[in-house]
Structure 1
Amino acid sequence: MTADVRIEGSVAEGFEPVRAAFVRNFETRGDRGAAVAVYRDGHKVVDLWAGTRDIDGTEPWRRGTAQVVRSATKGVAAAVPLLLHQRGDLDLDAPVAAYWPEFKAHGKERLLVRHVLNHRSGLPLLDRPLTPDEALDPLRGPAAVAAQAPVWEPGTDHGYHALTYGWLLDGLVRRVTGRGTGEWIAAELARPLGLDLWLGLPAAEEAAARAGRVGRLDDPEPPAGGLRMRPKRSVTAAYDDPGSVTRRAFGAITPFPDQNDPAYRAAALPATNGIATADALARFYAALTGEVDGVRLFDPATTAVARTEESAGPDRVLVVGTRFGLGYMLHGGAAPLLSPGSFGHPGRGGALGFADPESGIAFGYVTNGFRGTVTADPRAQALIRAVRAALSGRG
């Protein structure tokens, strides 16, 4: 897109660098349709959108256009077990099997709830990948991970559970609450905060989506083969080797569903298929660390639990070094956020949501033009640098 890109929305005084970076994302970084929102201390200071709603269309992106946010879904889903813990309904140090008896198979009796959230459960793949139809069945994925043997001894190492994370979390939430994660998010997160955010798009919203509520994405292919984080030989080899833990983790659903298919959007896959606006992501993260219009989700103790380092170092799946708290990626080389205290989650190819308690910043970015990256998308990173510049007065 050229320099005549029309940017809609507004920024508060001092946050003009974010608008400038957003413009450059269209001019030089290939964005076709995108939005960014930033809250500070519970108040919106950036609300921008531009481009086209569909990657292959001409209809303009509008206020309230939502997109599938891929693994940025994980950060929203992680709030469910942490809030259950905050309410006293879930013990993070209890065995998963204490809530989910079928999970004991193949020596998983001592696999803890916290191992699901910190990517140390040793269950990043399935010996038999699920078909798309099986994956969209709300019970098949959890049953598959319950029956799966760990790849490594739970708790001894970490590796990104790209797809299985969602089934592990959902199976646990269903046993504790009697509701799926998507239902829980709708009732306990989206409704109180007024979020345009869904895990399992309701029929009424799907009808609205056909009228332009939810945009169409590009690159609805599985994140395997050709996916790159950094040009290192070990990373390249891991993604190119069909037998590697990396490829098998990302191939736990084979072939991967068309993410523009209404059936996919109606399903609830807590690892991959949340649908949200940029404002919803930012508003959600703002409520994790402070009050937003009278609603606060995490108390200070739960915020501390979410962002305390649980896993760090070489990742058995992503190969590069990663850092995780409980359910959230932490600031680091693989996923640079605003500051060392930031926590959140990227989505493959662009989407990002995070909170930075020290500065009071909460951030959301969504796009329909996905790129072959798992973390550290250059468009999101440019916006983060602009937020940092605005906070330091360098704008």
Structure 2
Amino acid sequence: MTLTALIVAAGRGSRAGAGLPKQYRNLDGRSVLARTLGSFLDHPGIDSVRVVIHPDDESHYAAALRAGAADATKLGPAISGGETRQDSVRLGLEALSDCPPGVVLIHDAARPFVGPALLGRAIEAGRDREAAVPGIAVTDTIKIVDPEGRVIDTPDRSTLRAVQTPQAFDFRALLDAHRKAKAAGEERFTDDGALMEWAGIAVHVFEGEATNIKLTHPADFAAAERHLRGSMALLTRLGTGFDVHAFGEGDHVWLGGIRVPHDRGVIAHSDGDVILHALTDAILGTLADGDIGTHFPPSDPQWRGASSDRFLAHAVGLVRDRGGRIDHLDVTLLCEAPRLGPHREAMRQRIADISGIGIGAVSLKATTTEKMGFTGRREGIAAQAAATIRLPEDDA
């Protein structure tokens, strides 16, 4: 019996603040979604993984995949979600219906701390039951109140469970229940277990995990950062980078991962993006790990015309492989033209996406050389960069 995990990542997450949807926010050096995916992709009991995303989040999703360290061979194409979580789950199930699994796990992307033991229990429950959800015992006393806030009942907390994900279901049963709810105009479900109850299917509860928290509010992210850091000592490192390319024939230049129209091109082995090249060298400098030419020799024909986002993503991955995190990236572009201003924010966002950090941690400036030197004579373009990272003390 095949098993597919469906990760729901189409929400906006506005309560978490910071503008960026919470599933793509940085959490101790990796995005929330990358952490969540890693747990499912690494588990041997899961045959395939699909992610439901918001149609506007394709670039964020691609950045999360680049920054992830997990084996993505089990990961299928992303699925476009709907207006509500219920819609998104249904659309995800419909996308799987052409080649349906026997069991499906539904999991919220904003729960990045799901452990292998919990996944094992979910898989076992999914093979034994039509519908099963993880739950943990409630430790606080619960009150039921009326609209005026007056207590009308105090349920026995020994019978209460706080329900989590991943929830496990017979695929056909869950898809049928979603289709029935859609046909009946029932759009109130934020939990697939509750939808199955509505459809008349018995739902069982298996043991959840207290650490399997859902990140919802800013305080949740602060607590998660503290949890991940623990007592690990981190040391700050600073690296710098510089890159220059001569102008040549062409009608555009690549800067900060963005194609910028210009009356010249650059002479380069790759795409000649001086901003991304300088940043790559700055990050490699923090690691004392050579330079861009060490990792991507210009003598190697496979890098001819290569997109420079691959170089930066590689350097970022080296930081993460050593348990480090990127705190800040700073770039200064040196040229008379093209003008940086109209493209600055797009470049900052692109750099942030490639690096898996927030746009607030990316600084991008430009200056001329007062018509002095090769940049002043418009013979070429240059960039200098600085990167600040933190590495575990034992690895620094």
Normalising to structure 2: TM-score of the pair?
0.22
Bigger radius of gyration = 2
Structure number having the greater strand percentage: 2
Normalising to structure 1: TM-score of the pair?
0.22
